[in-house]
Amino acid sequence: MTQVKFDISTSLDGYIAGPDPDLEQPLGAGGEQLHDWVVKLSIWREQHGLAGGEVSADTEIMAEATDGIAAYVMGRGMFGGGDGSWGDEPWSGWWGEEPPFHAPVFVVTHHARAPLPREGGTTFHFVTEGVEAAVARAQQAVGEGDVLVAGGASVIQQALRAGLVDEFQLHVTPVLLGGGTPLFAGLGPDDVQVETVRVVESPSVTHLKYRVVR
């Protein structure tokens, strides 16, 4: 059975990005630190076409998190930022010629657009009917694989509120950002109940995995 998941780095005070994001700092002030633990891993670098990097206790977590993911769902901002319209020459996103997904990616947007195939097996599909429709299309696409809701916060929150998420993992980094994008904004006890699946500690990050209870 297909599982729908998300997997995201947060600060100790619950933010997935810092204050005042802009083109220079798309993750806001201090937000890059949330990903320090992962971008230094060789497994992450390999997925992004880069050599070198470390093998650590976090490697196994990262391998497990991406293993079996056969399709992705993401918001318009994560695909390519901007004002939400495509313009005359459609913006092909942050992800370059060969995006690291190697799978279909369903982008939730208000602006219809033809699918955008890229090198390496990634095709961006643009879904205008909302998060539920994007997750449903991803599930159809994957067969037996899993669907990762990649972000941003709004798409994750919509997926949680709609009861679409089976499991999630937080990578809690020991930093306070003091503001920014709170992961669970607008969600309360009537929206989501969870139970703990597993906790893994490493020197630079704590991995907390939860199952959504229905």
Q: How far is the CB of 3 from a copy of itself (least distance, A)?
A: 18
Judged by CB under 8 A, how many residues of this single chain contact a copy of itself? Answer: 33
- Rule CB under 8 A: say whether 206 interacts with a copy of itself: yes
Q: How far is the CB of 107 from a copy of itself (least distance, A)?
A: 27
**Closer CB to a copy of itself, 133 or 172, in the complex:** 172
User: Within 18-77, which residues bind a copy of itself (CB under 8 A)?
Assistant: 30
- Rule CB under 8 A: say whether 184 interacts with a copy of itself: yes
- Binding residue for a copy of itself (CB under 8 A) from 24, 112, 189, 214? 189
- Binding residue for a copy of itself (CB under 8 A) from 21, 81, 145, 179? 179
Q: How far is the CB of 37 from a copy of itself (least distance, A)?
A: 11
- Rule CB under 8 A: say whether 8 interacts with a copy of itself: no
Burial class from Cβ neighbours inside 10 Å (0-12, 13-18, 19+) for residue 206 reads middle
Q: How far is the CB of 207 from a copy of itself (least distance, A)?
A: 9
Question: What does the radius of gyration of the chain's CA atoms come to, in whole angstroms?
Answer: 17
Cβ contact 43:53 at 8 Å: yes
**Closer CB to a copy of itself, 102 or 161, in the complex:** 161
**Closer CB to a copy of itself, 33 or 123, in the complex:** 33
- Binding residue for a copy of itself (CB under 8 A) from 112, 114, 143, 196? 196
Amino acid (one-letter) located at 153: A
Rounded Cα distance, 34 and 8, in Å: 9
Q: How far is the CB of 129 from a copy of itself (least distance, A)?
A: 27
What is the contact surface with a copy of itself in residues (CB under 8 A)?
12-14, 30, 172, 174-179, 182-184, 186-196, 198-199, 201, 203-204, 206, 208, 210
